[in-house]
Structure 1
């Protein structure tokens, strides 16, 4: 694990600087104590990172759970909510033992790519007010004209400096010398941001206010640090609402994690496969511990994971180190952390968001055709304009509809020939897999056969034939005589003229399908 330390250590620093404000921001959005987000980030890095089989996935508090957490805390109270987090973790461990991790593999690639692109767009858009020094709450409260008056020129300067450093590092300097691969660009941007902050405080008109800086709780002593931890009220175990919340956390957190695992594995240039059942066990253990000591629910998070990947992370050492860095920083240097301008971190996330939703991705999905692009774009729109789970659900629904349409269209091959007496010979070759989904297509073809026609039904390539189809064929064997339609069944064993019963002749294919 330590052989890639030169890559993992710089990557862990980058992930740390991205993860820390996200931990605080998600806690704020969840209506929870800020320190609960920090706890979740520490456990997500050290505990989940250590137990997980993922090489580059990074776990922590998830924005996708913020709405659920906010409502649960308002309804139950924070200490009772922590009991639900513990229950959710225990249920995740149970899911891992039951080997439920395979669920993530049933989501189409187009939906996963749409999820990544949608998250990238959200990340990118949410940073725009921050790089101009505008409070995000003012965006909805003020009109467009008034927003221009809220722009902080000093914040714009640090944003331009940060973006310049990041782009220069990524596009030019890393290709010039190996030293620029060891020292991450985001770390340089953070250092420059802190230096600029110290300089700006002494220059009139360039000051950066407190809400434009990272805001980590600063403990006065060890006792005040310990006092930031909260503990669950297990007397609430008798409350059904706690169990419902725990079940909801387990399901949503597991689904988000499995989709993130699938997405992260696709981004991994080494194409390593994460063991999903082990991931559920790791996430469950992390959530149980997080709930025990006052932390928010944890999932694997695509923002941190993709940041880790783009920063050059190679092994699980990077997520583990980032957890230790969060722990050390909030103990030893909280005052220094509070000098980092939010605009620097927003600049880092602008780059991350752009890489997740590159225009080239949309062009590539269009080139793959409607069956890939439609579920992709529906997922993107759902994630951006609704939320993560709604977007995934819509994309999955469209993907299933696409499969049903393709299955309906690809059940058989039809060739029509004219006989000398003016009649028709209709040759119908059934596909390898015929299920109840193909009933409509085959029934329509049989009903359209004209009187005096001859149907040649070729099942030599068919491996599995659903019983519903046999029922349709048996009914057709009866009605075909009324319409004077000749039937010729072609099987691997030979040709049967005008069979009275298809079920007996094709029962072996039905048994294979049932088996």
Structure 2
């Protein structure tokens, strides 16, 4: 549970940030539900639960959870296999319990082995996709659903072709005016925000949303040709009464718990949602101005609790989501209070003012997301990775390209494969040095010896001639892989048949499973 003092320590920054995140999350929740073939309200439920439940349980200060674009295909396929929506909700609930099980096995620690080049590549790719995906909305075209990160779109276009289509064939002046003015204001506000007084708490995105609503209403009165089409406005389901609102919540059908398909969907959701959440939380730690580190294993417990509750009351599966989390960081959020409050704002707004929400132009929200995308994709990021060398820059760029031209999950997997190839190659550089002065030879481990160093170690020892004296120096190695210990043991056993004197230096007592046959500390085989 959260420390109350920390929850309320930065309200001046967390409240404005939570409003921004709620405004960004609203159309994303609806768009992802639509793309998943699920009831629109289920996306809002997942957003509310992701804010309140996961926000309370999580130890991440800036991550924001909700329905994720990366799960849309899984949900769509699951709804085609499972007979009813209520049975699918059971699968969501069970996926949450499985994630809690992963917490107890400490599976979350695996995310710590993801190369930083892949994480920063993911962030840059998300920023680039946000810009490319939101420009069509700024132009008045919406062939893709809000929140999509996939290269291929439902209308047959892709991210690049949709961009050109929106610019050349779908040029609508009303949305463009709102988006351009909004963008200019957002960048100006960031540079000129008052440092004192109440205005310093005013979130620029809120001003943009209000401007978008008022501008469209003004178009209706004075310039009907510029009026934004209803399909380009937020579309929250409107309930006529409290009973109708409550009636949109659903409960799982527990009678289907023995269905194999339910468990297949649950396991799939648990694995994919856990992977996305862990990578997102790790990425958010990278852009946290205070560089706080989240307990990744505990995050599985928080996400599992969120999916359990979401499935229990009729919501989509959820994950930690990089778009909302990035918006939270960009808006100045400092603690998890921002994520929790954004869930409350979503709940109150869809309950009390859905008609007002439906006046918000998507072009205004597009401007907000384009600015977030730029902050994730600054030229300085590319310069910094370039300066770090090819072993960082190539996986970084490969991850960006893979995510941009596939989707988030496939792109991350491709980036991980390439990143690990470079990690292995980097660690495969010379780890063993060989020197000799006449019949005296020195074979020295320059650092830890892993499995990949077996050939190098064996080749180095093979250079020692008959009748020589050799020192095998392991003092710089804190870890020696058991396979390498076996190689040293074999060399030492064979040495007496070759009239070779062997001295082994270094403390390797920690390798008790496969200890050196010679005593471990500064020992001579003679």
* TM-score over 0.5 (shorter chain): yes
| 8 Å CA contact retained: 1:457, 1:487 | no
Is residue 484 of structure 2 the alignment partner of residue 469 of structure 1?
yes
Counterpart mapping for 1:223-302 below 5 A: 223-302=243-322
Superposed, 1:356-371 pairs within 5 Å as 356-371=376-391
Question: What SS does the aligned partner of 1:339 have?
Answer: coil
Query: 2:109 maps to which residue?
Result: 102
Query: 1:9 is matched with which residue: 15, 37, 41?
Result: 15
Out of 116, 123, 139, the position equivalent to 1:116 is 123
Q: Distance in 1 between matches of 2:426 and 2:100?
A: 38
For 1:329 and 1:61, the matched residues in 2 are separated by: 18
Partners of 2:295 and 2:450 lie apart in 1 by 32
Q: Which residue of 2 aligns with 1:504?
A: 517
SS in 2 for 1:238: coil
Deviations 1:186-212 (A, max 9, x none): 000000000011011132311111111
Aligned to 2:505: 491
The more displaced of 332-341 and 115-124 is: 115-124
Q: C-alpha distance in 2, partners of 1:283/1:488? A: 55
Question: Secondary structure at the residue paired with 2:181?
Answer: helix
TM-score, L = length of structure 1: 0.88
- Flag the 1:222–1:503 CA change in 2: closer, same or farther, 3 A: closer
Which stretch shows the higher mean deviation, 184-193 or 319-328?
319-328
Per the TM alignment, residue 174 of structure 1 is displaced from its structure 2 partner at its CA by 4.1
Q: 1:498 is matched with which residue?
A: none
Q: CA deviation at 1:243?
A: 0.3
Alignment partner of 1:187 is 2:206:
yes
Does structure 1 conserve the Cα–Cα contact (< 8 Å) formed by 2:127 and 2:373?
A: yes
Deviations 1:56-112 (A, max 9, x none): 221111112112111111221422211110000111122223333322222222221
Q: Which has the higher helix share?
A: 1
Instruction: Encode CA deviations 1:160-179: one digit per residue, 9 max, x unaligned.
Output: 1110111111122345x443
By how many angstroms is 1:485 displaced?
A: 8.6
Of 101-110 and 442-451, deviating more is: 442-451
1:454 Cα offset (Å):
6.7
The secondary structure found in structure 2 opposite 1:219 is coil
Whole-Å separation in 1 of the counterparts to 2:358 and 2:478: 66
Identify which of 80, 99, 104 aligns with 2:87: 80
Greater C-alpha Rg: 1
Q: Which is worse superposed, 368-377 or 32-41?
A: 368-377
User: Match for residue 365 of structure 2?
Assistant: 345
1:156 corresponds in structure 2 to 176
Q: CA deviation at 1:246?
A: 0.5
Unaligned residue ranges in structure 1 (runs of 5+): 494-501, 511-515
Retained in 2: the 8 A contact 1:8–1:313? yes
The Cα of 1:183 is off from its aligned counterpart by 0.6
Instruction: Tell me the matched-pair count.
Output: 495
Shift, 1:244, TM fit = 1.1
> How far apart, CA to CA, are the structure 1 residues paired with 2:166 and 2:357?
31
Instruction: Report matched runs for 1:369-388 at 5 Å.
Output: 369-388=389-408
Partner SS, residue 225 of structure 2: coil
The residue aligned with 1:196 is 215
- Aligned with 1:321: secondary structure? helix
Q: 1:317 aligns with which of 327, 337, 340?
A: 337
**RMSD value, Cα:** 2.8
Separation in structure 2 between the aligned mates of residue 503 and residue 280 of structure 1, nearest angstrom? 40
Which SS does the other structure have where 2:245 is aligned?
A: helix
- 2:96 is equivalent to residue 89 of structure 1: yes
Residue 67 (1) aligns with residue 84 (2):
no
Q: Name the CA shift for 1:293/1:207 in 2 (closer, same or farther; >3 Å).
A: same
CA contact (8 A) 2:504 2:522 kept: no
Structure 1 residue 13, shift from structure 2 partner: 0.8
- Aligned equivalents of 1:342, 1:185: Cα separation in 2: 16
Partner SS state of residue 413, structure 1 = strand
CA distance in 2, matches of 1:389, 1:36: 23
Asked whether the equivalents of residues 489 and 517 of structure 2 are also in contact (C-alpha less than 8 Å), the reply is: no
Aligned to 1:140: 157
Equivalent residue, structure 1, for 2:3: none
Matched residue, 1:24: 30
Name 1:214's counterpart in structure 2. Answer: 234
Counterpart of 1:42?
48
Q: Which moved more, 1:59-68 or 1:396-405?
A: 396-405
Equivalents in 2 of 1:131, 1:172: separation in Å? 24
- Alpha-carbon deviation of 1:222? 2.1
> Any idea what SS the aligned residue of 2:319 has?
strand
State how far apart, in whole Å, the 2-side matches of 1:432 and 1:150 are: 60
CA-CA distance at 1:127 after TM superposition: 0.5
- Relative to 1, partners in 2 of residues 1:460 and 1:4: Cα closer, same or farther, differing over 3 Å? closer
Higher mean displacement: 226-235 or 446-455: 446-455
Question: Secondary structure, in 3 states, of the residue corresponding to 2:32?
Answer: helix
Q: Please, which moves more after superposition, 133-142 or 98-107?
A: 133-142
Q: Does the 8 Å contact 1:460/1:490 carry over to 2?
A: no
After TM superposition, give the deviation of residue 409 of structure 1 in Å. 2.0
Other-structure match for 2:323: 303
Give yes or no for contact 2:448–2:476 (8 Å, CA) kept in 1. Answer: no
